[in-house]
Structure 1
């Protein structure tokens, strides 16, 4: 499925929307994202992520699949290509793992809770109580006057940094090495965001889905997902 959303490329944002973008991409944002590892905890437990090189491969995989899909759905909501209801169904369809869907809705609920405090006059009722992260992010982008390209970029970027930070903690990696890795992958994040606003992405990664399910069945994991 391919629906044109925007012309390619990232457009400049106003100072206000750029500051909002930086806040939305801040790991300290109280939306509950810090308790989700994006599957990297299970990847470490399974021996797939052991060090910086294997973390690099994992993050590239996350960016190109889950980052792209989430960002494209958010952009579709923000540009009106998809209604909230349609985007919710499309997100379910693109998230085969029940554990993955639960994690998405948990993070979407956290973002919605914060957004209601920041933009109380915006009509939030259409999102319900447990929206997917992508759907909530699209509506938040509109409320915060953030360009769709930058909404997409914030989602791709946090898809990477959430897993990178979790891996740093779990593997006791040098924070400087992990920071250098995120700088290295920044161009890929920008390229992925540019693709996300062009059309809806409809791919999934079976490995990430399997990791999500195994993590959900594990006793006493450190992260929710």
Structure 2
């Protein structure tokens, strides 16, 4: 027996280990919904000089997490907890996403998550998510099949919403990765607060600034990011 394994140490519960593994997988920046494809409005915010450095990036991320991040997370939590079904969740997401460009971005990210889900659980019936699905809805479905709570499902979505946009900002502004890492760490408690609120009930607020960024970005010539 290796020296670092104590014979009386409790073995991790397989179900808990599986849930933790799934949480880490879904929070991975290499996911097809991550910051290497979607900037979450950061690209346009930089073009419009709203985000110019690490400080203004942090302000943008905090605002995004507290508005559109909360709404998306609340839908994901509701699906994960089984309080609403998938067709209803799709309609609620449409209704809570005023920007047509924002809806298209959500569907594009949902397509990437649906592809991943199909690889992870090929025997599962994903017909409710075909031919299209919003990111919060498929995220909630993945949380449910992984036996994650609504809170943890919401936390993953909020965190990836924030960290993906932070990564995009780092690339576009050529920021020091350490500075961006500090920004992400500092926003951890805000992500937890928003996820806790999202797990209670569906949120229905919006941020006109983010909607404008989404529409303006879609009309950009040769953008670096899809959204």
Same fold (TM over 0.5): yes
Correspondence 1:206 to 2:208: yes
Alignment check: 8 A CA contact 1:39 1:211 kept: yes
CA distance in 1, matches of 2:126, 2:42: 32
Are 1:117 and 2:129 matched, yes or no? no
**Distance in 2 (alpha carbons) for counterparts of 1:58 and 1:199:** 24
For residue 76 of structure 1, what is the aligned residue in structure 2? 78
Counterparts of 1:1-225 in structure 2 under 5 Å?
Answer: 14-31=16-33, 34-225=36-227
Post-superposition offset of 1:34: 2.5
- Partner Cα distance (2:20, 2:151) in 1: 11
Q: Which is worse superposed, 141-150 or 176-185?
A: 141-150
Structure 2: segments with no counterpart, 5+ residues:
1-14
Q: Retained in 2: the 8 A contact 1:41–1:223? A: yes
Answer yes or no: is the 8 Å Cα contact 2:34–2:164 preserved in 1: no
List alignment gaps of at least 5 residues for structure 1.
Answer: 1-12
Per-residue CA deviations over 1:120-141 (Å, capped at 9, x if unaligned) read: 1211111112100011011111
2:172 is paired with a residue of what secondary structure? helix
> Structure 2: how far apart are the matches of 1:102 and 1:156?
19
Asked whether the 8 Å contact 2:118–2:126 carries over to 1, the reply is yes
Is the CA contact 1:37–1:163 (under 8 Å) kept in the aligned structure 2?
yes
RMSD (CA atoms): 1.2
**Deviation per residue, 1:67-114 (Å, 9 max, x gap):** 111110011112222111111111001100000000000000110011
Alpha-carbon separation, structure 2, partners of 1:205 and 1:164: 19
Aligned residues: 213
Question: How many Å separate the matches in 1 of 2:35 and 2:130?
Answer: 19
Q: Is the 8 A contact 2:35 2:166 kept in 1?
A: no
| C-alpha distance in 1 between matches for 2:49 and 2:35 | 24
Which piece of structure 1 moves more, 122-131 or 192-201? 122-131
Preserved CA contact (<8 Å) 2:73 2:155: yes
CA displacement 1:36-90 (0-9 Å, x = unmatched): 0000000000000000111111000111011111110011112222111111111
Say if 2:35 and 2:165, in contact at 8 Å, map to a contact too: no
Q: Find the residue that maps to 1:69 and give its secondary structure.
A: helix
TM-score by length of 2: 0.91
Range moving further from structure 2, 51-60 or 123-132: 123-132
Report the alpha carbon displacement of residue 28 of structure 1 after superposing the two structures with TM: 1.1
Q: Distance in 2 between matches of 1:65 and 1:34?
A: 22
